[in-house]
A and B are shown apart, each in its own frame.
Chain A
Amino acid sequence: MADLADKVVAGARTRPDGKVKVTGGFAVSSDLHMEDMLWGATLRSPHASARIVSIDVSKAELVPGIVAVMTSKDLPAKPTYGLLHADQPVLASDVVRFEGDPVAIVAGENLEACRRALRAIEVIYEVLDPVTDPELAEISPPVHPDGNLFRRVVITSGDPEIQGEIIVEGVYEVGMQDQAFLGPESGLAVPDGKGGIDLYVATQGPHQDHRQLAPCLGLEPEAVRVQVAGVGGAFGGREDFSVHPHACILALKTNRPVKMSYLRNESFVGHLHRHPARMRFRHHATRAGDLVKVEAQILLDGGAYASTSAFVASNAARFACGPYKVPNAHVVATCVRTNNHPCGAMRGFGAVQACFGHESQMDKLAAALDMDPLQLRLRNAMQTGDRLPTGQVVHVPAPVRECLEAAAAFPLPPTAVDNQDGYGLPGGAGRTADPSRVRRGVGFAVGFKNIAYAEGYNDDTRARCLLHQGRATITCAVAELGQGFVTISRQIAKAILGVDEIDLAPASTGLIGSAGSSAASRQTYMSGAAVERVCHEVAARAKQSFAQQHSIDPESLLVDGGFIVSKDGSIRIPIAHACPEPIEVEVYHMHPPTAPMDERTGQGDTDVSWLFGAQRAVVDVDLDLGLVRVVQITTGQDVGRALNPVSVVGQIEGGISQGMGLAVMEEVISVNGLVKNPSFTDYLIPTFADMPPVEVSFIEEPEAGAPFGAKGVGETPSLASTAAVAAAIRAATGLDLPRVPIRPEDIVFAASAKPLSAPQFT
């Protein structure tokens, strides 16, 4: 097996879609078009909370080029949807619960006509006081009939009364981050002429879309097909519906293809964000620096609708203590409903917020102990065999120490060597910083999170392989978001079957059952394993067939890296040519079962496996202007085995840039539930000039049960980057800086900063 893994790695190739992407020929969902298609557009609530008194669409219907105008009255079937439970209206009927709740949809011959029609719809609202403070949500009037509490997760382990010799307490806050993928939410819905519909859409999970969509359309599941169109990045933001039901409903109504595509300002309300968090931590340790107990209260603002909030809360709770040996813990994570924008999945899923909290605390504890922060982390680092606060034993490689040591091993960058023309100073080419007032700081952070779905959630995938005339066709409904499943699946098939011609069928609900979502770092681990298994099965059948054709005892034959060989060495024939008939096999794959948590104590074997990653950040800070320049980030990443090293590095650098963004610039700013910066002018993401060099060390401890030992890498780099950059800024400035993103004013006016608020310990 080790040989085969080497073969997979040796066969690492460039992206099969690379050529079409660099020449502009790759159609992302917003490029889809048909001759006779209509455009669709959405009218959304301008209020965070309001009662709809009346909607008058009569003028909109008269706009030239408009073919359909629809409100909640015109919905064909189930009026709500949601990933875990259906609490989100397809179109608002009586009330709107956030700025952006859809109220009406239109279809027209061109986009301009649609926009005119939206302006012509008259909605009378009775504006209500929105619930926007998550700390008051549970005692406020219900925002939704389901109430304002999505979930409270409690984890208690060990002795709740025990106290440490050293105790540090902190309150921390994480602002709302946006996935900010570049490709607009978009899709094309095409009626099939038989009452059914095909939706081509940018999505992370066509089957989970399909499951929610058919009931909303009032169609049998077979009459609805969802196919993944070219996806321009996702990062969690395409787990939930965007254009899906609207485009389909308009297409069914008009019996014409309907395309919808959001502009950037609509994108900021058209998908869910990362949950903002308020957190209170109390860490207890011995004088020697061993963790004794962690107490945590984490409050997440889920916004108006449920989405995956219940699982985000669980993740925040399960990973609140960090990848450390923590013998006693009491953690409470609560996710509430408000009239703020709904939040859902984003890369790192609850563990990012928790990591900012526990890592800030580790630095505070190190200071209280007068100990080196890295040494404190190493001293407490979790290992294989340790028990988590959920009671689950970490049974897989847990290279926490190795990740930290690898991040620390890279040489520190020299000071100010690239400051030619001031470009390398904080503030960049603006040259506003005074070099004498620039301070350097170094910070560490380490984090962890689960791979795949947890808490007993049914997590499965399937893959089919057809081998015929030297060509393999793999069908597996994985959404390719840019992460490279198209590359890795071919690498695996090539190593096992030895064929060069490998096609990947479109990811469509019409072709095969679910592969699950491209989320939770799970697709290499899950669907990679399914592809591995199906290819082995095809090879075994080819061997069987070859033995039969030539009347050889199949026991005398072996499959070896693309060949069927006899044990005596006299036969060696490529698998591709061993069988004249087509061979087709489908496998179903599931990871070992996980268990729900005990409601009261949070105990349970909830996870199948974990990812670990550590970062060291080096920053320069201008003390007078509060400008920060991230100079270098180094990282040790637990990857199990890097099957395609270039794409693993790409995942790591991309994840680090998003983590750094949350540390210093990215925040969806919401005032009374209204977002103030829904554009790339005002919501800043790291540019080429902001991004420092990244040095990467893979920690490769192949994991049993993972395909060729490879774990997922999608989320690992995001976990600790934010915390590491924040730690470095604190080291440079000596300030507390308990909130991210750290804005210039947080540094310059730190002395007059308002204290943060977070729930008290219970």
Chain B
Amino acid sequence: MDEQISFTLNVNGHKHEIQSAWLGESLLFVLRERLNLWGTKNACEQGECGSCSVLIDGRLCCSCLEMAAAAVGTDILTIEGLAPNGDLSDIQEAFVEEGGVQCGFCTPGMVVAVHDLLEANPSPSSLEIREALSGNLCRCTGYGRIEAAVRRVVEARHG
């Protein structure tokens, strides 16, 4: 708390000045408390739940485990950046249609993780879906409808 620094972060294509931050602030904290990007959630703050998932230079990360100051110079994509004009992505649409959302707490992180999965693997098997998303906890759905949402996207994208 004693050593204060200022730096610039590139989030969802916009530059944000971070003034007088403590060096140790996590990216999750900065996104939420300093930039008011509340879509990135905080169920554990120790890398276990995935609700804070963001993409840093296209790499899926738990923002609670990343130091904000270390993310200078990267491109950070949060849930707010996935549907910037209010149009839902096909993944977001599928979550709504298939019932993949209940309380919605895990949803932003889960959507970011699905986005990452389908970038890397456009037609995952059931096992690959389960493996790839096993770092994102959901306590409400039992994952069945979320898997259905992912399949729906895969099928639609392959015509």
Assess the B88–A182 pair: CB atoms within 8 A: no
Given contacts A17-B104, A688-B133, contact A183 B96 (CB under 8 A): no
**A22 touching B137 by the CB < 8 A rule?**
no
B143 at the interface (CB under 8 A from A): yes
Complex contact A23–B139 (CB within 8 A) = no
Pair A183/B105 contact, Cβ less than 8 Å: yes
| Interface segment, one of B3-11, B37-45, B68-76 | B37-45
Closest to B128 in A: A423
**B141 located at the interface, meaning its Cβ lies under 8 Å from any Cβ of chain A in the complex:** yes
Task: Tell me, in angstroms, the Cα distance from A483 to B102 when the chains sit together.
Answer: 6
Supposing A418-B127, A681-B46 touch, asked if A181 and B103 sit within 8 A by C-beta, the answer is: yes
Q: For the complex, give the distance between the alpha carbons of A551 and B45 in Å.
A: 67
Contacting residues of chain A (647-697) with chain B, CB-CB under 8 angstroms: 647, 649-650, 652-658, 679-681, 685-691, 693-694
Q: Is A232 an interface residue (CB 8 A)?
A: yes
Cross-chain contact A24 with B38 (CB below 8 angstroms): yes
**CB-based contact B105/A654 at 8 Å:** no
A28 at the binding interface (Cβ < 8 Å):
yes
A685 in contact with B139 (CB, 8 Å):
yes
* Complex: A746 Cα to B147 Cα, angstroms: 32
Interchain nearest-CB distance for B141 vs A (Å): 5
- The yes or no answer to B55 lying at the interface (CB within 8 A) is no
Judge whether B88 and A23 touch: CB under 8 Å: yes
Digit string of A11-28 for contact with B (CB within 8 Å is 1, else 0)? 000110111011111111
Is B80 at the interface (CB under 8 A from chain A)?
Answer: yes
Cβ of A31 under 8 Å from chain B: yes
| Complex alpha-carbon distance, A709 and B103, angstroms | 25
By DSSP majority rule, is chain B's interface helix, strand, loop, or mixed? loop
User: Within 8 Å CB of A205, what residues of B?
Assistant: none
| A22 and B88 form a contact (CB under 8 A) | yes
Q: Does B159 contact A (CB under 8 A)?
A: no
Contact residues in B for A448 (Cβ distance below 8 Å): none
- How far is A685 from B98 in the complex, measured between Cα atoms in Å? 23
A199 within 8 A of B: no
In angstroms, Cα B38 to Cα A28, docked, is 9
Residues in B whose Cβ lies below 8 Å from that of A482: 102-104, 140
Q: Which residues of A contact B111 (CB under 8 A)?
A: 22
Q: Report the minimum CB–CB distance from A419 to chain B (whole Å).
A: 10
Given contacts A429-B131, A680-B137, A685-B137, contact A182 B142 (CB under 8 A): no
CB-nearest residue of chain A to B1? A112
Q: Contact: B49 with A27, CB < 8 Å?
A: no
User: Which residues from 120 to 159 on chain B have a C-beta closer than 8 Å to any C-beta of chain A?
Assistant: 126-127, 129-131, 133-147
With both beta carbons as reference points, the residue of chain B lying nearest to A429 in the complex is identified as B131
A182 to B137, CA, bound (A): 8
Q: Is A263 an interface residue (CB 8 A)?
A: yes
A414 to B43 alpha-carbon distance, docked (Å):
37
Known: A184-B43, A653-B145, A681-B48. A22 touches B101 (CB 8 A): yes
In this complex, how many residues of chain A approach chain B with their Cβ under 8 Å: the count is 63
- Interchain CB contact under 8 A, B44 and A654: no
Residues in A with CB closer than 8 Å to B92 are 19, 22-23
Q: Is A264 an interface residue (CB 8 A)?
A: yes
Interface presence of A481 (CB below 8 A): yes
With A423-B127, A646-B98 known to touch, is A654 a contact of B142 (CB < 8 Å)? yes
B63 within 8 A of A: no
Determine the chain A residues whose CB is within 8 A of the CB of B105 once the complex forms. 28, 181-183, 232-233
Q: Would you call A420 an interface residue if the criterion is a C-beta within 8 Å of the partner chain's C-beta atoms?
A: yes
In the complex, chain A residues whose CB is within 8 Å of the CB of B82: 23
Contacts of A483 in B (CB 8 A): 102
Q: Establish whether residues A649 and B99, one from each chain, have CB atoms under 8 Å apart when the complex forms.
A: yes
Q: With A27-B38, A235-B139, A653-B145 given, is the CB distance from A680 to B43 under 8 Å? A: yes
Q: Which residues of A contact B48 (CB under 8 A)?
A: 679-681
Q: Which residue on chain B has the smallest CB distance to residue A22?
A: B92
B41 touches A28 (CB 8 A): yes
Q: How far is the CA of A28 from the CA of B43 in the complex (A)?
A: 11
- In the complex, A38→B39 CA distance in Å? 21
A442 sits at the interface (CB 8 A):
no
Choose from A18, A27, A33, A685 the contact partner of B101 (Cβ within 8 Å). A18
The answer to whether A21 and B101 touch (CB under 8 A), given A424-B127, A429-B131, is yes
Contact with A along B78-117 (1 / 0, CB 8 A): 1110110010100011011111011111111001000000
Q: Say how far A549's CB is from chain B's closest CB, in angstroms.
A: 41
Choose from B43, B101, B142 the contact partner of A657 (Cβ within 8 Å). B142
Least CB distance, A624 to chain B, in whole angstroms: 24
Q: Are A688 and B136 in contact (CB under 8 A)?
A: yes
- Judged by a CB distance under 8 angstroms, whether A728 is at the interface is no
Q: Which residues of B contact A649 (CB under 8 A)?
A: 99, 144-145
Bound together, the chains give a CA A658 to CA B138 distance in angstroms of 11
**Distance (Å) between the CB of A367 and the closest chain B CB?**
31
Q: Do residues B145 and A646 form an inter-chain contact, with CB atoms below 8 A? A: yes
Are the C-beta atoms of A22 and B143 separated by less than 8 Å?
A: no
**Residue from the set B43, B44, B111, B145 with the largest chain A CB neighbour count within 10 Å:** B43
Q: Which residues of B contact A656 (CB under 8 A)?
A: 142
Q: Which residues of A contact B39 (CB under 8 A)?
A: 23-25
Q: For A653, what are the chain B residues with a Cβ–Cβ distance below 8 Å?
A: 141-145
- Cβ distance A489 to chain B, nearest Cβ, rounded Å: 16
State the Cβ distance, B31 to closest chain A Cβ, in Å.
10
Q: Give bound CA distance, A327 to B80, whole Å.
A: 61
Residues on B with beta carbons closer than 8 Å to the beta carbon of A339: none
A395-443 residues at the B interface, CB under 8 angstroms: 418, 420, 423-424, 429
Min distance, Cβ A528 to any Cβ of chain B, angstroms:
17
Chain A, 230-254, contact with B by CB distance < 8 Å: what is the 0/1 string? 1111110000000000000000000
Nearest neighbor of A655 in chain B, beta-carbon distance: B142
Whether B144 pairs with A691 at a CB distance below 8 angstroms is yes
In this assembly, does A461 line the interface, its C-beta being within 8 Å of a C-beta of chain B?
no
CB distance from A512 to the nearest CB of B (A): 23
Q: Which residues of chain B are within 8 angstroms of A302 by Cβ–Cβ distance?
A: none
* Cross-chain contact of B102 among A30, A33, A654, A688 (Cβ < 8 A): A654
- B138 surroundings in chain A (CB, below 8 A): 182, 688
Q: Does A180 contact B (CB under 8 A)?
A: yes
Query: Can you name 16 A-B pairs with beta carbons within 8 Å?
Result: A23-B108, A24-B39, A179-B139, A182-B41, A182-B139, A183-B103, A184-B42, A646-B99, A650-B140, A653-B141, A653-B142, A654-B139, A680-B46, A686-B142, A687-B135, A691-B144
Q: Which residues of A contact B (CB under 8 A)?
A: 14-15, 17-19, 21-28, 30-31, 33, 112, 179-184, 230-235, 263-264, 418, 420, 423-424, 429, 481-484, 646-647, 649-650, 652-658, 679-681, 685-691, 693-694
Sample of 13 more A-B contacts, CB < 8 Å, known A649-B144, A680-B43, A685-B137: A15-B99, A19-B92, A22-B108, A24-B79, A25-B39, A182-B49, A233-B102, A424-B127, A652-B142, A653-B145, A680-B49, A688-B131, A691-B144
